[in-house]
Structures are given as C-alpha cells and as structure tokens.
C-alpha cells in the first residue's frame, strides 16, 4: 500500500485547523492533531475538526505511570483516532498497558504508535540527557521494545526506516515526520528527508505540515507530494 499523507495541523486554533485541512483538499489521507491543539481545545475541539470525517492521528505522546496511560488511552478511544502515540521511553510496563487498553476495544481500537527519538534530536542531544548515542541504535532499541510489548508501530525519522523494516518486519507501522521537499527549509528538524525518499524506503504514514499548510496553494503542494511519493 502506498504511503499515506497525514497533514500536521500545528495550531491551537480550531478555525485555522479547519481552514488548513479544507485548503489541502482530497490530496491528503488524514490529519494530525497534537498536544498544542489538545491543550487549547480538549476533546470537544478534536470532535469539531473530526466532524469532516478525516482519519485522525492523535499525537499526544502519552508518558506516565502504566495505569494512568492505560486510562488515557481508554478515554481517547471515543475520539476515534486511527493512530495514538505514547512515548517508548515510558518503559515496557507502560507500553504494554497502553497496547492492552487499546486492544480491549476490539476492531474499533486505535493503532498504538510509540515515539522513539524525536526528529528534533541528534546524537549530541541524546548525550546531553544521558542516553546512549548514536540515535539509530537508540531508535532500534526502543522500536524492538515497543513491538515486544504489543504496540503497532513507532514514530521514527526517515533515516531509520530501512533498519526498522529489517528489525521489525513489514507489518510494523512506521510513522515518519520531519519530512521536507528538496527545496524546503529545515525549521526545527535535524534528521530529515524528502517525502519521496521516505516512501520508497517503506514508510507507512508521512506526517507533513508546513510544506503544505504554508504553501500559496496547499492543495497543489499536497498533490505534488503525492506525485513524488508515487514515483518508483
């Protein structure tokens, strides 16, 4: 299946989120709403944007004691996200609790996606917080842990796609942010690649924000990215 484009709506404003989503048109496969939006608007804001029936990536990056995370997962399921994130650094018990809470909803459950190493971090950042570099090794450790505890996939940078496909197999979902067209700016991302490169390496979901939302014609920008990822 071709990689799916999820539009990152990185705004706390409901009207702006709806405008950005509508401007991208049918060239996107879903939307991503994250912590900034959720803190500003709560579940009611999520429901407001979800009224237009776009598949939802709810990127809350849950990280707490296992019981609390399990409860948060159960609370999030009625919002009908396709993907829901937890932090892989929460450890095996927390990851297992999140996966079990999601699985208790059967076919209606979201996919639990564990965040490995944020794409804004590099080897120097890992060393600064006492983690073992290089980044690729840490991502592989956390991906293996997440898979072992029942998670459905991970968030990783495009640079780890090939390694994780080799380690975790073809069914494990890889969600890849930090993507920029060849002429785009890096902004606050450090480990980046183009959408076409990430798709050809085997990404399942491409999370793309500013290259679409900041474009003069967001729908045209999204269509151009879709054409790029369709090329062999």
How far is CA 129 from its chain centroid? 23
Q: State the burial class of residue 55 (Cβ atoms within 10 Å of its Cβ: 0-12, 13-18, 19+).
A: middle
**DSSP symbol at 218:** H
Question: What radius of gyration, in Å, describes the C-alpha atoms of the chain?
Answer: 17
DSSP string of 1-53, one letter each residue: -PPEEEEE---S-HHHHHHHHHHHGGG-SEEEEEHHHHHHHHHHHHHHHHTT-
CA–CA distance, 219 with 144 (Å, rounded to integer): 37
Question: b or e along 179-212 (b: 16 or more beta carbons within 10 Å of the residue's beta carbon)?
Answer: bbbeebeeeebbbbbbbbbbbbbbbbbbbbbebb
Selecting among 61, 127, 173, 190, the annotated active-site residue is 61
The Cβ of residue 51 has, within 10 Å, a number of other Cβ atoms equal to 8
The Cβ of residue 158 has, within 10 Å, a number of other Cβ atoms equal to 24
CA–CA distance, 178 with 207 (Å, rounded to integer): 7
Q: Is 32 a catalytic residue?
A: no
**Facing residues of 206 across strands?**
5, 176
**DSSP symbol at 59:** E
Residues assigned a catalytic role: 61
């Amino acid at each position: 299946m071709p990689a799916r484009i999820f539009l990152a709506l990185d705004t706390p404003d409901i009207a702006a989120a709806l405008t950005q989503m509508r401007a991208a048109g049918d060239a996107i496969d879903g939307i991503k709403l994250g912590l900034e939006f959720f803190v500003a608007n709560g579940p009611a804001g999520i429901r407001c944007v979800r009224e237009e029936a776009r598949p939802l990536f709810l990127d809350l990056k849950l990280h707490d004691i296992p019981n609390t995370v399990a409860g948060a997962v159960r609370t999030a399921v009625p919002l009908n996200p396709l993907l829901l994130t937890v932090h892989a650094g929460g450890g095996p018990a927390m990851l297992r609790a999140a996966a079990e809470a999601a699985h208790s909803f059967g076919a209606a459950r979201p996919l639990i996606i564990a965040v490995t190493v944020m794409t804004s971090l590099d080897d120097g950042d890992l060393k600064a917080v006492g983690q073992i570099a290089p980044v690729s090794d840490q991502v592989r450790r956390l991906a293996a842990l997440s898979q072992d505890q029942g998670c459905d996939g991970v968030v990783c940078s495009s640079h780890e796609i090939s390694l994780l496909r080799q380690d975790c197999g073809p069914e494990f979902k890889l969600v890849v942010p930090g993507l920029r067209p060849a002429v785009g700016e890096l902004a606050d991302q450090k480990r980046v690649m183009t959408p076409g490169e990430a798709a050809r390496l085997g990404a399942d979901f491409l999370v793309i924000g500013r290259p679409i939302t900041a474009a003069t014609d967001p729908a045209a920008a999204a269509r151009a990215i879709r054409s790029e990822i369709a090329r062999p």
